[in-house]
Amino acid sequence: MNSEERSILLKVEGLTKHFPITKGVFRKQVGAVKAVDGISFDIFKGETLGLVGESGCGKSTAGRVILQLYTATEGNVFFKGQNLRLLRKEDLRKLRQQMQMIFQDPQESLNPRMTVGSIISEPMLEHQSLKGKDRRERVEQLLNSVGLDPNVTNRYP
């Protein structure tokens, strides 16, 4: 295996996420819930990682912190060598197009047999809010608003 194939895609160093426990009118912090406490790992190009554990142990929180959907209390996440904590919002949004978190709960997951456009337009069909061309245009607007190319409408998640 050459060095390109063994390059680190994702590096997580000392990742910690604590949620504050507050009390009183002035919301004084009296403690913290340690949801993720100092995890570190590397994922190399071509590898897959699954986080396994009992309900409430911090798997989803770890994923959200890695994707920068939650702010880490401590630690760093590097994707393709870039420290995600240091990126501007628009740069992070572009990089997120190359990342994906798959939830364990099928009700929170995307149907892999439906196109991205079908998934996004499904609520519009259910509520009969938009039809035909208007619905397609709205799907494109929504994709643009989150930094995705409208051409992904025919792709699968």
Q: Give the H or E element holding residue 59.
A: helix 59-66
Sign (positive/negative) of CA torsion 113, 119, 50, 67? Answer: positive
Q: Which whole number is the average pLDDT over 32-56?
A: 90
Nearest in space to 96 (alpha carbons), one of 143, 50, 141, 148: 148
Q: Domains plus CATH for the chain? A: 8-104 (3.40.50.300), 116-154 (no CATH)
pLDDT band at 12 (very low <50, low <70, confident <90, very high): very high
CB 101 within 8 A of CB 133: no
| Neighbour tally for 11: CB within 10 Å | 17
Per-residue confidence (pLDDT) for residue 5, from 0 to 100: 54
Per-residue confidence (pLDDT) for residue 63, from 0 to 100: 92
Per-residue confidence (pLDDT) for residue 50, from 0 to 100: 83
Strand partners, 32: 20
Per-residue confidence (pLDDT) for residue 106, from 0 to 100: 61
How far apart are the C-alpha atoms of 46 and 5, rounded to whole Å?
7
How far apart are the C-alpha atoms of 38 and 87, rounded to whole Å?
22
Per-residue confidence (pLDDT) for residue 103, from 0 to 100: 66
Predicted confidence (pLDDT) at residue 3 exceeds the cutoff of 60: no
Predicted confidence (pLDDT) at residue 72 exceeds the cutoff of 60: yes
CB 84 within 8 A of CB 92: yes
Per-residue confidence (pLDDT) for residue 97, from 0 to 100: 80
Predicted confidence (pLDDT) at residue 34 exceeds the cutoff of 90: yes
Q: Give me the chain's average pLDDT, please.
A: 87
How far apart are the C-alpha atoms of 149 and 155, rounded to whole Å?
11
DSSP-derived secondary structure for 82-151: EEGGGS-HHHHHHHHTT-----SSGGGSPPTTS-HHHHHHHHHHHTT---HHHHHHHHHHHHHHTT--GG
Whether the model clears a pTM of 0.85, i.e. scores above it, the answer is no
pLDDT band at 77 (very low <50, low <70, confident <90, very high): very high
Could you report the per-residue pLDDT of 85-116, keeping only the tens digit for each?
999 988 988 888 888 777 666 666 677 888 99
